[in-house]
Amino acid sequence: MNPSPEKGAKCEVSFFVNGKETNLHAHPMERLLDVLRNELGLTGAKEGCGEGECGSCSVLLDGMLVNSCLVPIAQTNGASVVTIEGLSTHDLMSPLQHAFLECGGAQCGICTPGMILATVHLLEKKPEPVLSDIREGLAGNLCRCTGYMQIFEAVAKAAQRRVAK
């Protein structure tokens, strides 16, 4: 073992966060989650397990749902990141956020940002999901409050409204 590991230099990261061009310096192995929360003040993504099991740190990276605790910041250079903060406009909730509120899909709130981003990703791929699609789309997001039924209901309601529009 090397007793005094070489200290790595910071790298330049230039990416889009919720549509806004963002430039910063960071150690390349810093986790996207920590950069969002600590450098950019975007605390919507939560750290649950820190090992990709719970989904509470979910964000969209170039439109793909990812666990931001497992993404080194250097891999986001040039990418577009969307967090829960990017879904509301002028403090107005998105229809999807509204559906979660209406159905009681949000209780303590720790899993909610991840659940909602997983739903955004799901509805992009499958605009008219059946229950098994919803269950699969959200299978990587754990909730300890709701028992999931209200969340599935919120997703179904949001999907119906989205298609009806």
Partner 1 sequence: MRADPAEYKLVSPGNLQGVLSLLASEPAQWLPIAGGTDVMVLYSAGKLPIRKLVDLWNIPELRQIEVLPDRIHIGAACTFTTLRGHEIISREFPLLATAGSWTGGIANQNRGTLGGNIANASPAADSLPSLLVYGAELTLISMRGERRVPYGTFHTGYKKTELAADELIQDISLPRKFSGYISHARKVGARNAQAISKVCLAALGQIASGTIRDVRLALGSVAPVPLRLEETEQLLVGRRIDSSLIDAARKSVVDRIRPIDDIRSTARYRSAVAGNLVAEFLEKLAMEGTKA
- What is the binding site for partner 1 (CB under 8 A)? 1-2, 5-8, 11, 26-31, 50-53, 55, 58, 64-67, 69-72, 74-75, 77, 118, 121-122, 136-137, 139-141
Residue closer to partner 1 (CB basis): 70 or 163: 70
Place of tokens 């990261």: 13
Q: How far is the CB of 110 from partner 1 (least distance, A)?
A: 16
Q: How far is the CB of 25 from partner 1 (least distance, A)?
A: 12
Q: Please state, as a whole number, how many other Cβ atoms lie within 10 Å of the Cβ of residue 40.
A: 16
Q: How far is the CB of 50 from partner 1 (least distance, A)?
A: 5
Q: What one-letter code names the amino acid at 39?
A: E
Residue closer to partner 1 (CB basis): 63 or 95: 63
Q: How far is the CB of 24 from partner 1 (least distance, A)?
A: 13
Residue closer to partner 1 (CB basis): 17 or 60: 60
In order, the DSSP letters of 61-89 are ETTEEEEGGG-BGGGGTT-EEE-GGGTSB
How many Å apart are CA 58 and CA 73, to the nearest integer? 15
Quick one: how far is CA 27 from the chain centroid? 22
Residue closer to partner 1 (CB basis): 102 or 133: 133
CB 141 within 8 A of CB 154: no
Q: How far is the CB of 143 from partner 1 (least distance, A)?
A: 13
Residue closer to partner 1 (CB basis): 5 or 41: 5
How many Å apart are CA 18 and CA 43, to the nearest integer? 13
The three-class DSSP label of residue 58 is: strand
